[in-house]
Structure 1
Amino acid sequence: MMRTRLTGSLFDWENIDLITVGTFAALIRVSTYLITICGGGMNPIAFILKNIMITGLLVVLCHKVSRPGVLTLYMLVNYLFSLALTGNMPISVPTLIICALLADLIICYGSRVHRNSAILAGVLFYKLSSVSVGFAWQFLVVREDPRLMLMPLAIVMIGSIGYILGLPVGMKLLKELRHAGIVRN
């Protein structure tokens, strides 16, 4: 397989890495839609399972594509999918980019000490900070009565359980994929 590089950009990416990020973004999007549909909508169990799947696959993606900026690129591709499929508002993109860049910094600088822990911390920071940004944006929209945010707060807390449970699931999935030879050390 010929490996060509995308040069002249902020990061030095190979084509296979770009394809992998796009494939994982599509895989995460399709699998979460399937979990939501098969789970009967957005009930708490389906919501937790969806978040476990997202976090687990992000852990595998960060190990498979070990380049700076992988979460930022994932966020941009994922947002383009969301924009095309559901018509999300582009107003939250700048804050999501900041969350992804900070998570990438956590992974880059933490990898000098312990790579697995840095990836787990970066993925957890990315997911919790992006959800917190969305929650804060909704709070600004309904600021005339803060009691309207009690139910979304409960939903965010239930979703956070899925993000935390997804970290060990991602490490177990990574171990199995390494054993199968799909992800290399």
Structure 2
Amino acid sequence: MEYKLAMRQASVLLCIGLQHRDFNFLQGQMKLENQQIMALFNKVMKKFYKHLYAIASKEIESALPRLKDVALEPHSISVEDDLNDAAKKVEDEMRAQTEGLLNPELLQQYAIVGRESDLEKALQNGAGRIPSGGLVSVKSSREMSEKRGKQKDGQESGKRQKKDERGSKSNKKRKH
């Protein structure tokens, strides 16, 4: 694209740009008013900007990669089938997790250790039914020494509290 300047536009550009003259000098030499000189200068600057912008945009376009045509094709699986497959995968994962939690070896630690007769005796006290609270008490057959040994291994609660010289426990407050 080629831009041509009028003679007056070219003279305004040369006087201001190359000769460093001001508008008062141009007003006397060209016999134009300040507003006319300013209008000519604006038109020259717009043409100059358009020319430089065209050059820069051509250079940028040549450096950019070309866009490839993308062919859109439908999927072979419908959306409903895809959702059903995803739901099955999630359900399988949830089943695997819950089966791991319900492992009989892990639940064995909560099993009632004792004989069937102890459980039957506890149920006979409640007339053969489980009480409404849902709790059944069964007498333990473990020795006290076994229970204390387990507490010392994993817990600090088995330690005795210190007594002061009066014989009362130090962390309890006396009632007056």
TM-based fold match above 0.5: no
> Per chain length, whose mean CA-contact separation is higher, i.e. which structure has more relative contact order (CA < 8 Å, sep 6+)?
1
Q: TM-score, normalised by structure 1?
A: 0.22
Could you say which structure has the higher helix fraction?
Answer: 1
Q: TM-score, normalised by structure 2?
A: 0.22
- Structure with bigger gyration radius: 2
